[in-house]
Amino acid sequence: MVKHFKVAVIAGDGIGPEVIDEGIKVLNKVAELDSGFQFDFTYFPWGCEFYTKNGKMMDDDGMEQLKEFDAIYLGAVGFPGVPDHISLWDLLLKIRKSFDQYVNIRPVKLLKGAHLPLVDVKREDIDMLFIRENSEGEYSGAGEWLFKGQEHEVVLQNGVFSRKGTERIIRYAFETAKKEGRSLTSISKANALNYSMVFWDQVFEEVSAEYPEVETASYLVDAAAMLMIKDPKRFEVVVTSNLFGDILTDLGAAIAGGIGLAAGANINPERNFPSMFEPIHGSAPDIAGKGIGNPLASIWSASQMLDFFGYEEHGKVVLEAIEQLLLEDQVVTPDMNGTASTFEVGNRVTDIITSIISSKDVSVK
């Protein structure tokens, strides 16, 4: 019997539709070659263009519509004329929070063939998996704006760290590190944030006692940023808060081949709601419509979707295909000093996938 996975596609703005098309091309090719499953894609026109026409980023019942899907595939959101806090809070963060996608997974791995920007660092030294708390913390949206426009104007932006939210993300990270046989590093800022991060460190220590087999470390976020550059090999699995994870994974993208290779997954581990997969780059409105956007991040996020559905071997094949394309250095987009189009990169990746699966007879039990 063929398994059917229902995927909602929100291609979004700018280069979003262009790069997401290539990820869908890859997913369909993998499903075709396996023949045991297939994807049923449904497209939603939500985003900033939708906002300019309708005054909202998505349909009023958009969350009810999305609830019926197994996964969400998101392109990019953001466009000049629509404030960033509107595009972020009324679509991306709304989905993350409403669907309790409390685990954000961002690989920081320097693939073969990708540009190595650091000196005195080996390629294999850059292989981190960031697990970021994705539902509360500094992005909880709690706060107040008092005396707005007056000379004694005051704004309060509150971080919210619940025991449930903090413990479950740390425990998820420990389980991942245990499964992969890797060390786990916690990143906080307890010396300055004397409530939230002291609490974070305390919960990390408590949960750590249940996983004596996992080697652990803990760093302040500023020291961690420096060490990611100077000694990246010390980081394997990393767990951190919403804000710190957001910032450090962009730094991670810079040392792992650039933002064009940066993918992210927003996971609801209990699968009560759909999880969401996305390239983490912006919508790049300056090159939208030119067909030169780099689709590799969206293709990498497609491999994360395959992992999520239990097809890890196929997910590895997709990454192997990206690496082979980078090593060939013939079909890459202008941001990687190439001349290929978005479409051509997607085509080459699917050709490589076909070759790999045919030669290895990769199958999924």
DSSP secondary structure letter of residue 124: G
Beta bridge partners, 12, equal 76
**Whole-Å CA distances, 128 to 65, 302, 308, 313:** 35, 19, 18, 19
Give Cβ neighbours of residue 364 (< 8 Å, ≥ 6 apart): 34, 36, 310, 311, 313, 314
The sign of the torsion formed by the CA atoms of 350, 322, 34, 29 equals negative
**Single pTM value for the model:** 0.94
**Integer Rg of the chain from CA:** 20
Please report the DSSP string for 294-331 in residue order.
--HHHHHHHHHHHHHTT-HHHHHHHHHHHHHHHHHTSS
Instruction: Name 271's Cβ contacts closer than 8 Å, sequence gap at least 6.
Output: none
CA distance 278 to 88: 14
* Cα torsion 333, 338, 339, 345: sign: negative
Looking at the DSSP assignment, which residues form a beta bridge with residue 127? Answer: 109
* pLDDT at 364 (0 to 100): 44
- Each residue's pLDDT tens digit, 173-201: 999 999 999 999 999 999 999 999 999 99
Contact in structure between 91 and 54 (CB atoms under 8 Å): no
> What integer pLDDT is reported at residue 365 of this predicted model?
41
Note the pLDDT of residue 262: 93
Number of residues that this document lists for the chain:
365
The list of the chain residues with pLDDT below 50 reads 362-365
Note the helical H segments in 181-311: 196-208, 221-230, 242-255, 296-308
Q: What is the pLDDT of residue 132?
A: 98
Is residue 257 helix, strand or coil? coil
> What strands, in cross-sheet order, belong to the sheet with 184-188?
37-43, 3-12, 71-76, 275-279, 263-267, 103-109, 127-133, 237-240, 184-188, 216-220
pLDDT of amino acid 281: 92
